[in-house]
A and B are shown apart, each in its own frame.
Chain A
Amino acid sequence: MLELAGVSLSFVGLTAVAGLDLRVADGTICSLIGPNGAGKTSVLNLISRFYTPQTGQVRFNERDLLKLPPHRVVEIGIARSFQSPTLFKNLSVLDNLLVGAAHLSKPSVVEDVLRLPRSRQHERLARERADHALEFLKLEAVRDRVAGDLPYGHQKLVDIGRALVADPRLLLLDEPAAGMEEAQKQWLANAIMHVPDEYGAAVLLVDHDMGVVLRVSDNVIVMNFGSKIFEGPPGEVRHQPQVLAAYLGTERGGTVHDAQA
């Protein structure tokens, strides 16, 4: 479904991504891990078209993503959450989620002012999807709270919820578990695992938390210095010497789990 081939991205004097190949299959959960500065977030920003790579191809369902402006990416089925929750901070949680549905139908300003059928239809659909996301992420209790006033963990969930409301075929999650408590992390991991069934979307997950990554992923890609150093099922990742080297700086025994602790 999503396919990156030979993608390179460099900023002035700094290579963020170097000849990366990456595939995410329909309905699967793929994780991208690696030490800080490995280029994981850059990959997500490439896919959501905030960055344009110098070389390589990014295709989604046989469409060339690089020909699209950033605001068209969600229309073809890719929605994302942000590393630090980037919400509409003065809007309620519900309104934040409703914006997620903005691209699903587009009534004009006049239709919205007069509440013509297309406007009412959009509101109905958006509400339905938002209610579903509120339930899925257990956010009903904070539905009418101002998003900017919420605790960090809840803001991250609203960020994910907004992306789910957009009805994506591929959901990009940038460190969703960062800054969460252990219990909340476990619960979130569980929710992420249900995204493919519940929403029919594949997931590309970037995270540091090995517990979450190993539990939810069908496929794990390890990056270091902008390149892929390993790809395989989660069971094999923790025993790979090159992965351990990347995380610890030297080769030695133990597992990635130890490295995280």
Chain B
Amino acid sequence: MIRARRRGLPWPLLAFGFAVAFPAAYGGNTAIMSVATQCLIYAVAAASLNLLMGYGGQVSLGHAGFLAAGAYTAAVVAIHFRLPLVPEILAAGLVAAAIGFVLGLPTGRLHGLYLVILTLGFGVAVPQIALNWTGLTNGWAGLAMPPTTLWGLDLTSQPTLYYCVLAVSWLCLLAMLSLVATRSGRIFMAVRDSEAAAMAMGVNVWRAKVKVFTTSAFFCGIAGDLLAHWTGLVAPTSFPFDLSLLFFSMVIVGGMGSIWGSLTGAVLLVVIADQAASVGGLSTAIIGGAVVLTLLVAPEGLASLPRVVSWRLRRMLEREAPGEIGRFRNRDQRVRKERRA
């Protein structure tokens, strides 16, 4: 859960610098660049889910569905309308947002487990719809993304795609960060913490919930657009239920109510999944183990790790120099010893 704002090292800036410099070290290695690109795309998807779960207090087990909506929109728009990249990204976001809006409508009545089932059904239904709506989606064969250029740059070449994804994903993360620091974000969190108090302060609770669903879907749709460019092919099998679960795990591992936590969680799980893939059938188990391990170390997610570590350190230092209680205990023991003697 989000806590009051703290100040510390400018981690986001450092991370951005690292991400910009990254291709200088690994630019030649296509496999590593591909994983790095995937990290950024999944970070946007995880952060969008965090907006819904950590800030909005809602649940979704079907975010891969929004990802698919964005990816298919990207492909259809790129193939049929040949739109430039920026309008194409916006179109992907808006189509996903429209679906998010409709899916958010029942949230006035649906809570907890019922919402889980609704979103779960949505996530499972989308690949099926894509499979059968052959006129639009080309069925199981999927849609191949046509080569896209941005200001004359070829987006299919690796460092270019990486930088493009980096720019878009960072803008998305900053946009979400801006959102949660203003009135709209505060209203989402207010509804999460107390619907009665939010209502008394003039918040239309139902509208706030629909809004957070729509906004979350918008950003996830943009992640879907980036995904389409990254994979080059949009097919029903790209959006299994596991993917929704993976985003869910990223949010939990990174920390509910922390946008940067979601970035951390996404990077960690994407890298682990990539490494574990070579082990074959065990990859899912390894990811699960990593999730459990992280939560044992930092129950509130990786975002809470600096706080936990500093607390532990302070406690260790205090043990070195005992305070009042320690002194009294020593004195009591001394007194007892004297009495015995």
Contact = CB atoms under 8 A, between A and B. Distances in A.
Interface in A53-108: 69-75, 79-80, 82, 86-92, 95, 98-103, 106-108
Nearest to A104: B202
A21 B2 CA distance: 45
B200 A79 contact: yes
12 contacts: A73-B200, A74-B202, A80-B200, A87-B197, A88-B192, A89-B193, A91-B190, A98-B186, A101-B183, A112-B179, A112-B184, A119-B183
Contact of B4 (A72, A101, A119, A146): A146
B1 A90 contact: yes
A97 B190 CA distance: 11
Contacts of A82: 196-197, 200
Interface residues of B, number: 34
A100 B183 CA distance: 10
A88 B4 contact: no
Nearest to A93: B4
Given A92-B4, A107-B183, A119-B183, A48 B200 contact: yes
Nearest to B6: A144
Nearest to B214: A109
Contact of B187 (A48, A99, A114): A99
Which among B5, B186, B214, B215 has the highest number of chain A CB atoms within 10 Å?
B186
Interface residues of A, number: 43
Contacts of A166: 201-202
A87 B196 CA distance: 10
Contacts of B187: 99, 102
A104 B201 CA distance: 10
A50 interface: yes
Contacts of A70: 199-200
Interface string B187-225: 101101110111111111100000100110000000000
Given A70-B200, A90-B3, A95 B257 contact: no
Interface of B: 1-5, 175-176, 178-179, 182-187, 189-190, 192-194, 196-205, 211, 214-215, 257
A138 interface: no
Given A74-B202, A82-B197, A115-B178, A99 B186 contact: yes
A141 interface: no
Given A109-B179, A122-B183, A91 B202 contact: no
A115 B174 CA distance: 12
Nearest to A99: B190
A202 interface: no
Given A99-B198, A109-B215, A90 B257 contact: yes
A102 B152 CA distance: 45
A23 B184 CA distance: 36
Contact of B196 (A50, A113, A145): A50
User: Nearest 9 pairs between A and B by C-beta?
Assistant: A103-B202, A92-B4, A88-B193, A74-B202, A112-B182, A112-B184, A86-B197, A90-B1, A113-B175
